[in-house]
Amino acid sequence: MTGSKSAVVRNTKNKRIKTLKERDYTLLSQKLGYLFKQPDLLREALTHRSCGFPNNERFEFLGDSVLNCAVSTLLFRHFPSLPEGDLTRLRANFVNQQALHQLASALGIGELILLGEGERKSGGHCRPSILANAVEAIIGAIYLESGFVTVVQIITALYEPMIKQLDPDITGKDPKTQLQEFLQSRRVALPEYSVLSAQGDPHAQVFQVECVIPKFDIRTKGEGTSRRRAEQEAARQAYELAVVKH
């Protein structure tokens, strides 16, 4: 009898979780302005590699390329007089881990990401690199299902309000450059970067880099899918601390 009651409780809980997920998927679709005709594509785009295979790594690879192309086009059209170097730096502000993590938070992806038990217990649903990768994977999945024109419309709707508010004179520099110029203006030695760890398979590594500014007693850690991205994230945190403290 007790076993039957437990089974009923489990079934009820499972139905509630399923309903919650379906509701959240609907909310995600509303925020994206896009409804997947093949829900399995969205599920795969939200599946982290800690769950095994299939997962969202291949979608992420595709979405990264599509996102770079779409954002490049938006910037090219919005800033017709900017040279290539400035456009490249501006783009870096929108396709980096921080920007994608902010998008993921706005879309509520942390509540939907599918993780293995260990990754879930370690707080993977809040990890910026995981959520940023999921955004790229969703973009890749939309591209696969509906093509380039549709996915560009989605990306434009997400990014155009931010691009319209841009001041290219301020945001045209990447975090490492901003930090370097800030320190040089105060005659402080350049920051020291060191790789703390590189985890995962060779084709899907996650790097953790430390940025240290001894004179300001600043020490930050950045995470990214490449050493460069991790350095930029660590530099961004260090720059924000340096501006506040000094």
Q: Is the pLDDT of residue 101 over 80?
A: yes
Average pLDDT over residues 151-168: 86
Average pLDDT over residues 237-244: 88
Q: Is the pLDDT of residue 5 over 60?
A: no
The strand order across the sheet containing 206-213 reads 192-199, 206-213, 218-224
Local confidence band at 167 (pLDDT 50, 70, 90 cut-offs): low
| Dihedral of the alpha carbons of 144, 36, 148, 126, in degrees to the nearest 10 | -80
Q: Is the pLDDT of residue 18 over 50?
A: no
What local confidence, expressed as pLDDT, does residue 98 receive?
80
**C-beta of residue 96 within 8 angstroms of C-beta of residue 88:** no
What local confidence, expressed as pLDDT, does residue 168 receive?
62
- Reply yes or no on whether 201 is catalytic: no
Q: Is the pLDDT of residue 109 over 90?
A: yes
Average pLDDT over residues 174-188: 88
- Reply yes or no on whether 24 is catalytic: no
**C-beta of residue 36 within 8 angstroms of C-beta of residue 46:** no
Give the mean pLDDT of the chain: 85
Instruction: Find the distance separating the first CA and the last CA of the chain, reported in whole Å.
Output: 68
Query: Which of these is catalytic: 57, 60, 119, 136?
Result: 136
Q: Under CATH, which architecture does the 175-245 domain have?
A: 2-Layer Sandwich (3.30)
List pLDDT tens digits, range 34-73.
Answer: 999 999 999 999 999 999 989 999 999 999 999 999 999 9
User: What is the token pair recorded at 89?
Assistant: 């730096």
* Annotated domain spans of the chain: 12-165, 175-245
What local confidence, expressed as pLDDT, does residue 21 receive?
56
Percent of the chain surpassing pLDDT 70? 87
Lowest mean pLDDT among 5-19, 30-44, 162-176, 208-222: 5-19
Local confidence band at 103 (pLDDT 50, 70, 90 cut-offs): very high
Local confidence band at 12 (pLDDT 50, 70, 90 cut-offs): very low
Local confidence band at 22 (pLDDT 50, 70, 90 cut-offs): low
**Prediction pTM value:** 0.67
What local confidence, expressed as pLDDT, does residue 11 receive?
45
Query: Which of these is catalytic: 44, 60, 64, 174?
Result: 64
What local confidence, expressed as pLDDT, does residue 48 receive?
95
Residue 218, φ and ψ in degrees, nearest 5:
-110, 135
Region of 108 (left: φ > 0; alpha: ψ -120 to 50; beta: rest) is left
12-165 CATH choice from 1.20.120.330, 1.10.1660.10, 2.30.330.10, 1.10.1520.10: 1.10.1520.10
Cα Rg for the chain, rounded, in angstroms? Answer: 20
